[in-house]
Amino acid sequence: GQQVMQIPQYQHVQEGEDFTTYCNSSTTLSNIQWYKQRPGGHPVFLIQLVKSGEVKKQKRLTFQFGEAKKNSSLHITATQTTDVGTYFCADATNKLIFGTGTLLAVQP
Amino acid sequence: NAGVTQTPKFQVLKTGQSMTLQCAQDMNHEYMSWYRQDPGMGLRLIHYSVGAGITDQGEVPNGYNVSRSTTEDFPLRLLSAAPSQTSVYFCASSRWTISYNSPLHFGNGTRLTVT
């Protein structure tokens, strides 16, 4: 079964609102990757987190890796319509196992 | 560079038919993998390979075969298609390190329908 769970499965926001998706594992992760898939497209790598408690930023996107390395989050500040898509985390500890994804819809 | 190229883009099969999904990459990546994507299920790993001559099973390998005779190519074979194999299939590649920490480069996908 799926080893990496993501919540929520779906989120609808108004443009300008913030958005957060969470990735949880029952086991300790060595590192975690985040991907974005636009509707009709293929997943595209965003970032990788390796260290416990690590925080990385890409413009309006903030990625965090939990202290216990069992969870991670992606936060988008002031969403834009270009943020629409599905966001996946992937456990890169042993092979690359993806979470179930969070579909973000942004209403202008 | 073309990156990761998948063919065909669309395919319709009848139950019991066989076919091969092609995947080729020109980045000299050691690691290649196949995923299937179904609504609400995310991306599930079917098979993967860390180099020519080496393959291994992923999360959902049943009904699929793979081989890796060259670094560039990693075809996925369906020997006897079933409706449950209707899905979007993605091939992906990366440099391989022992901790699987290289970013994956994905192909554009193959949309397969089995009737």
Average pLDDT in chain A: 94
pLDDT of residue B41: 80
Task: Please name the member of B40, B92, B109 whose beta carbon is closest to the beta carbon of A9.
Answer: B40
A85 — contact with chain B (CB < 8 Å)? no
Pairing of strands A55-58, B76-78: unpaired
Task: Confirm or reject contact between A40 and chain B (CB < 8 A).
Answer: no
Count the Cβ atoms, other than its own, within 10 Å of residue A74: 24
At residue A81, φ and ψ (nearest 5 deg) are: -65, -25
Q: Is the pLDDT score of A93 beyond 90?
A: no
The pLDDT score that the predictor gives to residue B99 is 64
Q: Tokens in use for B15?
A: 């139950």
pLDDT > 80? residue B115:
yes
Tens digit of pLDDT for each residue in B54-91? 999 999 999 999 999 999 999 999 999 999 999 999 99
Q: What is the mean pLDDT of chain B?
A: 94
Tell me: pLDDT of A100 over 60. Answer: yes
pLDDT at B96 over 80: no
- Residue A105's contacts (CB-CB under 8 Å, 6 or more residues apart) are A10, A11, A12, A13, A84
Spatial separation of the C-alpha atoms in residues A77 and B50, rounded to whole Å: 38
Partners of B103 on chain A (C-beta within 8 Å) are 33, 45, 48
pLDDT in tens, A35-72: 999 999 999 999 999 999 999 999 999 999 999 999 99
- CA-based nearest residue in chain B for residue A32: B101
Q: Do B106 and A48 touch (CB under 8 A)?
A: no
Tokens 């609808």 sit on residue: A12
